[in-house]
Amino acid sequence: MSDPVLQVRNFTVEFWVDGSWYPAAVDMNFDVQAGKTLAIVGESGSGKSTTAMGIMDLLASNARMSGSVKVKGSEMIGVTKSQLRKFRGREVAYIFQEPMTALNPVYTIGFQIVETLRTHFDMGPKAAKARAIELITLVEIPNPELSFDKYPHQLSGGQRQRAMIAQSLACDPALLIADEPTTALDVTVQAEVLDLMRGLRTKLNSAILLITHDMGVVADMADEILVMKDGLTVEHGSSDQIFNKPTHPYTQSLLKSVPKLGTVKQRAAIDNKKQPVIKLTDVTIAYPKRGRIPEFVAVKDFNLEIFPGEIVGLVGESGSGKTTVGRAAIGLIPIKSGKLEIVGKDISKATQKELFPIRRHTGIVFQDPASSLNPRLPIGESIGEPILLAGLAKGAELNHKVEELLQQVELPRSYRNRFPHELSGGQRQRVGIARALALTPDLLIADEPTSALDVSVQARFLELLLELQDKLKFACLFISHDLAVVDILAHRIAVMQDGRLVEEGDRDSILKSAKNEYTRRLIAAVPVPDPAEQKKRREARLAAK
Amino acid sequence: MARKSNIGLNTGEELLDGNENAIFNKETEGLSQGQIILKRFVRHRAAMVALVFFTTLVAIVYTALDWRIGDPRNPRFTIPGWWNYGFEDTPELLTEGCPEGILGCPTIDFVPFVDGDGVQLGQHPFGQDNIGRDYFALVMRGAQRSILVMFIIGLIATTIGTIVGALAGFFRGWTDAVLMRLVDFIITIPVIIIGSVIGFHFGNKGAAFLALLLGLFSWTGLSRLVRGEFLSLREREFVDAARVAGATNRRIIFKHILPNAIGVIIVSVTLLMSGAILLETALSFLGFGVTSPDVSLGLLISNYQDAFTTRPWLFWYPGLFIIAIALCVNFIGDGLRDAFDPRQRRRLSKKDKENAREMQSRSEMA
């Protein structure tokens, strides 16, 4: 075997915090060969990004590194900044998670690619432009000539990520470090970007170091896998070995907690003879025009009913209007036309005051637990607020209720006095549920409650939600971009595209025999944590093209 | 890593986020928001020095002179100050130790062992003015007025600025339009002109009244900042969560949003206060601020501007106090700004790293 492009030996990264060195990645050993992909997998805080950033010394000034990192045989640790700069971009290129922030918004993408080219090569402006257009063509952005002069905000999320990739490929790097390259993208776009990266790997024979938390992406891309936990290497092996015969218990539990499509039994249908908890009839929701920005219709002619005790999953890609539906359903956004009924009351044109009694019957869990809890209030106060404002309890009685709610979501009672920043993401989201359930609502809206959580935390969270729903029998509108999650929970699934409901039906009919073309594409694009299965689907996808 | 929670940070920070947060969490384990801010503030060396210095200064200034309760000429009772002279007393002009032809020079001596009796205050440490009034007493009185003016302006501007900004930012629409046009209107008139007009008509009503009126015109900058903060905070999900919980607008504004904007408010108020002290000085210097027989630092400078060549100390000491007070408040404000900014993290100096290495090697040996 030839020399590896990247060779990492006894590599340790530590951060200086409050008078002591706090290790973030300990004793890492791995090689990446040309034309191969090594995936570093782990949950947030496991040190996977730190390792990737450490390779090119891009860490904050309170970090220190030891051990050895060799790129094409040259040592990277302990060399001067100017020597490092020669390798950055030229031999090692990065693809960042958020293409909107990684591209400079005031320059065109063409300019940014040309800039990279001319920093590293002695190249005239015309030659650089020609090469840039070539690169843009390579990453399959439509109309390369025109796209050259486009600004990042004029491109879609997937195209932006492609432009990022084009920029990082500008110097034919030997090593490509992709740090969660598709996390910010929708599944269908993610599948395309992954296809592109795989194609480039074979075409350019680069080595790829892929950092991700998504086991589906790993199954799709990786030849070799390294699993990290709390800064330590837990398991290291070939893709086949890790997925099919994981030896370490952490890897096993990690794989087990990844939701898989179609592995749970269809939940029994809910009696739909009763009066629905929420009924939307031909609802249209529009964001009113502001200044010169014209009115934007986010949801059009939307129909949905949810019956008591039923969980309905609402799926769609970003921008499809699913969050807007959720917010309107709870009266946070007024609807433009149509009819919206909650527990038999028409709130289509309700004023804020008329909505107060409705609030007692509804609860909402927000997407981002960090932003949905007031950082200046102890969580006990956040949870108790609905009860207090409804005038149901005060003082000691309220405290007692709050403790009960905390227990219900399996948090210690003493957490009542803690502040949101003292809790982990999963714990915060439980507080979110406790607050939403404080008034034992008839309807719970869950707006992507698991998208900010790690898979193992997500698995536990979904279990808890199912248990609570079983006990309290509330109706639930579960909004998610992740079909696999919806699959576990929902009795029925509704699919949205561009503000319209494209398909609705019970779980099996949607997942197994979707009639709508968009739904089928959505299902096909969901990555499955199984390399063999992924290969099959990839081929099917290519054949369909 | 979080899927959509990191939007808005720059890339470098974004990539680091996962690990940095873990470490940051370690740093803040078990502390409330207030405690963290206090800890960061205490760590800010310049601000702590300024705070101690300012507290001492205020204590000295306010205890130096007699406090007369009731009619100043015929007080009901008097709390005696520690200084021998009041600012209205006119002792005899001293010539002792002064250059020829000059009366009432300062008797303070900083330099030990050269001549005189070494470090001492003497009878009139800051000298005397034309008619023999003790200049130390005058400066103390002036500083009292200036600090009073500063705090009154700060208090009034904070109240009005916060409320106007909060209403405009929270309700948007026409409330915002009307309030912000009012702000525009006030901003277009230079403060010094407003101050002059007010001082000209109401200067004889005392320093406190002047400060009250000036406060009515200095809230505009703060209200803009608070409005901006409210505009962004009102879009946060916890506001929606509070609304779903059934909270009224008033509760959302005061219980949920305002505590989150308090950092911006405190910081901008401290800066506003150091501006206020300069405003009062400027107005008094122009003759529109505090008028005699009362005294303020600006008035002292204005009165003796001709004396600069012959008796420069009449200029020095009030100037020194103005600078000291304004600087202190600025430093404290700077420390607060750093303490309230959650993204602010202490940079590591080379020395820190070396110390750590040394500590580690020592522990390894042991």
- Per-residue pLDDT reduced to its tens digit, B188-211: 988 888 888 888 887 677 788 888
- Asked if A169 reaches chain B (Cβ–Cβ under 8 Å), the answer is no
Q: How confident is the model at residue B181 (pLDDT cuts 50, 70, 90)?
A: very high
Residues 6+ apart with CB under 8 A from A188: A317, A521, A522, A525
pLDDT at B178: 95
The angle subtended at Cα A281 by Cα A275 and Cα A283, nearest 5°, is 140
B87 contacts B295 by C-beta, under 8 angstroms: yes
CB atoms near residue A273 (< 10 Å): 6
Q: What SS3 state is found at A237?
A: strand
CA-to-CA separations, B88 to A264, B130, B144, B300, in angstroms, rounded = 91, 13, 15, 14
CA A295 to chain centre: 29
d(CA B2, CA A213): 10
Q: What is the percentage of chain B residues whose pLDDT exceeds 70? A: 77
Residue with token string 């404080």: A438
* Beta strands in A329-376, from DSSP E residues, in sequence order: 337-342, 345-346, 362-365
Q: Of A455, A24, A397, A539, nearest to A251 (Cα)?
A: A455
pLDDT for residue B184 is more than 70: yes
ipTM of the complex: 0.75
Among chain B residues, CA nearest to A13: B19
Tell me how close the Cα of B254 comes to any Cα of chain A, in angstroms. Answer: 12
Q: How many residues in chain B?
A: 366
Element (H, E) at A210: strand A207-212
> If you average pLDDT over residues A338-363, what whole number do you get?
83
CA-to-CA separations, A345 to A286, A350, A371, B164, in angstroms, rounded = 22, 10, 31, 37
Answer whether B16 sits within 8 Å of A49, measured CB to CB.
yes
pLDDT at B4: 38
Selected residues 78-97 of chain A with any CB under 8 Å from a CB in chain B: 96-97
Selected residues 4-43 of chain A with any CB under 8 Å from a CB in chain B: 15-22, 24
Q: Among B11, B42, B351, B364, pick the best mutation site for testing chain A contact (most A Cβ within 10 A).
A: B11
pLDDT at A38: 93
Q: How confident is the model at residue B1 (pLDDT cuts 50, 70, 90)?
A: very low
Identify all chain B residues contacting A179, using CB atoms and an 8 Å cutoff.
Answer: 15
Among chain A residues, CA nearest to B6: A98
d(CA A484, CA A512): 13
Tell me how close the Cα of B256 comes to any Cα of chain A, in angstroms. Answer: 7
pLDDT at A91: 86
- Asked if B237 reaches chain A (Cβ–Cβ under 8 Å), the answer is yes
Element (H, E) at B181: helix B173-188
For residue A4, the 8-state DSSP code is: P
pLDDT for residue B15 is more than 50: no
Tell me how close the Cα of A373 comes to any Cα of chain B, in angstroms. Answer: 5
Q: How confident is the model at residue B26 (pLDDT cuts 50, 70, 90)?
A: very low
- Better-scored residue on pLDDT, B333 or B106: B333
pLDDT at A266: 66
- Better-scored residue on pLDDT, A182 or B149: B149
A339 contacts A283 by C-beta, under 8 angstroms: yes
d(CA B324, CA B128): 22
The DSSP annotation for B96-122 comes to TTPPTT--S----B--SSSSTTSSB--
pLDDT at B32: 60
Q: What SS3 state is found at A182?
A: coil
- Asked if A422 reaches chain B (Cβ–Cβ under 8 Å), the answer is yes
For residue A462, the 8-state DSSP code is: H
Identify all chain B residues contacting A332, using CB atoms and an 8 Å cutoff.
Answer: 240, 243-244
Identify all chain A residues contacting B240, using CB atoms and an 8 Å cutoff.
Answer: 327, 332, 364, 366, 372
Q: How confident is the model at residue A378 (pLDDT cuts 50, 70, 90)?
A: confident
Q: Among A189, A362, A368, pick the best mutation site for testing chain B contact (most B Cβ within 10 A).
A: A368
Answer whether A97 sits within 8 Å of B15, measured CB to CB.
yes
B305 contacts B34 by C-beta, under 8 angstroms: no
> If you average pLDDT over residues A146-160, what whole number do you get?
85
d(CA B289, CA B207): 8
Identify all chain A residues contacting B10, using CB atoms and an 8 Å cutoff.
Answer: 101
CA-to-CA separations, B177 to A77, B57, B101, in angstroms, rounded = 58, 43, 65
- Asked if A63 reaches chain B (Cβ–Cβ under 8 Å), the answer is no
Domain definitions of chain B by residue range: 50-108+120-340
pLDDT of A196-235, one tens digit each?
Answer: 888 888 888 889 999 988 888 888 888 999 999 888 899 9
pLDDT for residue B31 is more than 60: no
* The two three-digit tokens of residue A459, written as one number: 């698995």
* The two three-digit tokens of residue A92, written as one number: 């090692």
pLDDT at B9: 35
pLDDT for residue B10 is more than 70: no
3-class DSSP string for B195-225: HHHHHHHHHHHCHHHHHHHHHCCCCHHHHHH
Q: What SS3 state is found at B12?
A: helix
Tell me how close the Cα of A101 comes to any Cα of chain B, in angstroms. Answer: 6
CATH topology of domain B50-108+120-340: MetI-like fold (1.10.3720)
Find which of A182-191, A219-228, B345-354 is predicted with most confidence, using mean pLDDT. A219-228
Nearest beta carbon to residue B3 from set A372, A376, A451: A451
pLDDT at B330: 87
pLDDT at B180: 94
> If you average pLDDT over residues B231-257, what whole number do you get?
88
d(CA A1, CA A184): 36
Q: Of A98, A91, A97, nearest to A76 (Cα)?
A: A91
CB atoms near residue B15 (< 10 Å): 27
Among chain A residues, CA nearest to B236: A371
Answer whether B251 sits within 8 Å of A382, measured CB to CB.
no
The angle subtended at Cα A215 by Cα A210 and Cα A221, nearest 5°, is 45
Count Cβ atoms within 10 A of the Cβ of residue A131 and give its class: 0-12 exposed, 13-18 middle, 19 or more buried: middle
- Asked if B16 reaches chain A (Cβ–Cβ under 8 Å), the answer is yes
Q: Of A315, A279, A367, nearest to A516 (Cα)?
A: A315
A347 contacts B213 by C-beta, under 8 angstroms: no
pLDDT at B18: 42
Residue with token string 């430093």: B331
Q: Of B276, B260, B70, B64, nearest to B155 (Cα)?
A: B276
> If you average pLDDT over residues A91-98, what whole number do you get?
83
Reported pTM: 0.76
> If you average pLDDT over residues A231-252, what whole number do you get?
89
- Asked if A106 reaches chain B (Cβ–Cβ under 8 Å), the answer is no
Report the half-sphere exposure of A189 (CA within 13 A, side-chain side).
18
Among chain B residues, CA nearest to A444: B244
CA A347 to chain centre: 33
| A440-454, B16-30, B139-153: the lowest-pLDDT one | B16-30
Q: How confident is the model at residue B113 (pLDDT cuts 50, 70, 90)?
A: low
Residue with token string 């350019």: A204
pLDDT averaged over every residue in chain B: 78
Radius of gyration of chain A (CA): 25
Identify all chain A residues contacting B245, using CB atoms and an 8 Å cutoff.
Answer: 359, 385-386, 389, 435, 438
- Asked if B18 reaches chain A (Cβ–Cβ under 8 Å), the answer is yes
Phi, psi of A543 (to 5 degrees): -65, -35
Answer whether A452 sits within 8 Å of B5, measured CB to CB.
yes
Count Cβ atoms within 10 A of the Cβ of residue B53 and give its class: 0-12 exposed, 13-18 middle, 19 or more buried: middle
Q: How confident is the model at residue B352 (pLDDT cuts 50, 70, 90)?
A: low
B124 contacts B94 by C-beta, under 8 angstroms: yes
Answer whether B22 sits within 8 Å of A45, measured CB to CB.
yes
Among chain A residues, CA nearest to B36: A421
- Better-scored residue on pLDDT, B54 or A81: B54
> How big is the A-B interface in CB pairs under 8 Å?
164
Tell me how close the Cα of B315 comes to any Cα of chain A, in angstroms. Answer: 47
pLDDT for residue B20 is more than 80: no
Helices B258-286 and B220-233 meet at what angle, rounded to 10?
170
> If you average pLDDT over residues A525-532, what whole number do you get?
81
d(CA A424, CA A236): 27
pLDDT of A288-334, one tens digit each?
Answer: 877 777 888 888 899 998 998 889 999 988 778 888 898 888 888 88
B43 contacts B51 by C-beta, under 8 angstroms: no
Tell me how close the Cα of B4 comes to any Cα of chain A, in angstroms. Answer: 7
pLDDT averaged over every residue in chain A: 85
Q: How confident is the model at residue A81 (pLDDT cuts 50, 70, 90)?
A: confident
pLDDT at B279: 86
- Helix then strand then coil, in percent of chain B rounded to 5, is 65, 5, 30
Nearest beta carbon to residue B18 from set A16, A44, A382: A44
Radius of gyration of chain B (CA): 26
Answer whether A422 sits within 8 Å of B29, measured CB to CB.
yes
Nearest beta carbon to residue B360 from set A21, A179, A432: A21
pLDDT at B29: 41
Tell me how close the Cα of B9 comes to any Cα of chain A, in angstroms. Answer: 8
